Amino acid sequence: GGADVEYDMVVLGAGPGGYSAAFRAADLGLKTAIIERYATLGGVCLNVGCIPSKALLHVAAVIEEAEHIDTAGIKFAKPTVDVDALRKHKDGVISKLTGGLSGMAKARKVDVIRGYGHFLDPHHLEVEETTGTSQDKTGAKKVVKFKQCIIAAGSAAVHLPFIPKDPRIVDSTGALELRQVPAKMLVIGGGIIGLEMATVYSTLGARIDVVEMMDGLMQGPDRDAVKVWEKQNAHRFDKIMLKTKTVAVEAKDDGLWVKFEGEGAPAEPVRYDMILQSAGRAPNGKKIGADKAGVIVGERGFIPVDAQMRTNVPHIFAIGDIIGQPMLAHKAVHEAHVAAEVAAGHKAAFDATVIPGVAYTHPEVAWVGYTEAQAKAEGKKVETAKFPWAASGRAIANGADYGFTKLIFDAETHRVIGGTIVGPSAGDMIGEVCLAIEMGADAVDIGKTIHPHPTLGETVGMAAEVAHGSCTDLP
Ligand code: FAD
């Protein structure tokens, strides 16, 4: 009783997790609605994440390529950058995709309820409605009853508490708005998001400093790959301050004055025109009234789930950034399908062995499964095969002979259990390594697979051939 509308399935949040779950649930016959506060579907990924960043990184890559082709006797003039037109281009990419999603929701008869949702009890959500064109509340409220629910409310950028509010200080969402190209920019946090944005802004003309608390940029991939990346990207940075913390920011008329502490810290405050806060993202678990539904939320805001994506309340599922690391769109989508299928009564569980990670920088860095560092830390016996792109015809032709493809094999079973690729299109190529791992392929399987020549993808096969050399059981 007391509900304005009632559904078999209500999905809270319309990011890649949420819309994938809703579409799958509807396809499996459940009467489904999505609650979303944004005016468009797609969540962080489409509106302020994966897609806009890649639209800008593509432009940056074109500029970079044009600048480096002079070694081939081709000289372009320095590009003129029309920031307003570039912003429009990026927004056009987003609206094409969000418009497509909206059409797909309609085609499946998935209702979209616009507003902020929070639980009232284990079977009701209240939605404070938004205008449909903005995130502003209209004052109207609606109670939505559900038989089952999937929480897909995602995450938000962490804002350091001592950093003042100032239009020159942005998080990734602000950086993607592309309001200005500063002369001097500080990137707080040397993770993927920070380095992708550093790539965009530096290509558009900004000088960049990066400050990172850990002892290296880009946690995740092996250091040999990051070293290649650093060498190719050295031209962007004035300073990379490792093992260093930002401790104070003062917003003055003449700039943002920043104090640092740690191994890389300059003695005096440094002046910047713009600061990007990209020191991590936090789940939205504590913002949805989960306790009213009896759903347990961990201390840091993550919602624990089982392999079927069920929370402690069996008819309420959770997926995507809100359940844990890695906070990646393809992980959210995979979990979405599991949750929707289980909710529809199908047998499904999360049993992917690996989740790939990619920095879509120039060059790209992609890794999946075991790294050498992780194997070493766990005392796992592995064999490593590394194919340097200096021996790839296509890489040399493309001016990318600095890259490499590395495969990691279990020393006992000889199955591939990891891979790292650095170079242009590494993110596209890592998919083959993911498939090989999921299928239990060994070096022979990959090496004897005929790859097209000459391609960068061929280097995966060549790395496997390198591994053949160390295998004793080969013909
Ligand atoms: P989200 O996409 O965060 O969606 C959650 C949705 O829920 C949002 O639309 C939000 O408005 C809505 N919501 C939250 N609370 C409520 C509420 N109470 N009521 C109503 N609606 C609510 N990942 C990749 O895999 N590849 C990339 O290249 C990549 N690039 C990125 C670049 C940037 C700059 C950022 C910030 C992230 C990037 N990510 C990337 C990460 C990716 O965006 C996330 O992993 C992904 O969006 C998570 O999907 P999700 O469905 O869990 O949540």
DSSP result, 133-189 = SSS-EEEEEEEEEEEEEEE---EEE---TTSPP-TTEE-HHHHHH-----SEEEEE-
Q: How many CB atoms lie within 10 A of CB 405?
A: 31
User: CB of 295 closer than 6 A to ligand 1?
Assistant: no
Distance CA 446, CA 394 (A): 19
The H or E element spanning position 357 is strand 357-359
pLDDT tens across the length of the chain (475 residues): 589 999 999 999 999 999 999 999 999 999 999 999 999 999 999 999 999 999 999 999 999 999 989 989 999 999 999 999 999 999 999 999 999 999 999 999 999 999 999 999 999 999 999 998 889 999 999 999 999 999 999 999 999 999 999 999 999 999 999 999 999 999 999 999 999 999 999 999 999 999 999 999 999 999 999 999 999 999 999 999 999 999 999 999 999 999 999 999 999 999 999 999 999 999 999 999 999 999 999 999 999 999 999 999 999 999 999 999 999 999 999 999 999 999 999 999 999 999 999 999 999 999 999 999 999 999 999 999 999 999 999 999 999 999 999 999 999 999 999 999 999 999 999 999 999 999 999 999 999 999 999 999 999 999 999 987 654 444 3
Which of 68, 159, 346, 453 is catalytic? The answer is: 453
Distance 58 CA to ligand 1 centre (A): 21
Among 355, 423, 359, CA closest to 386: 423
Q: In testing the pocket of ligand 1, which one of 50, 94, 187, 333 has its CB within 8 Å of the most ligand atoms?
A: 50
Among 32, 294, 287, 348, CA closest to 154: 287
Residue 453 designated active-site: yes
Among 404, 407, 392, CA closest to 446: 407
User: CB of 189 closer than 6 A to ligand 1?
Assistant: no
Peptide bond into 16 cis (omega under 30): no
User: CB of 191 closer than 6 A to ligand 1?
Assistant: no
* Residue of the CA atom closest to atom 37 of ligand 1: 49
Using an 8 Å Cβ cutoff, are 459 and 389 in contact? yes
Interface pTM (ipTM) of the complex? 0.99
Question: In what order do the strands lie in the sheet containing 270-272?
Answer: 244-252, 255-262, 270-272
Distance CA 363, CA 71 (A): 18
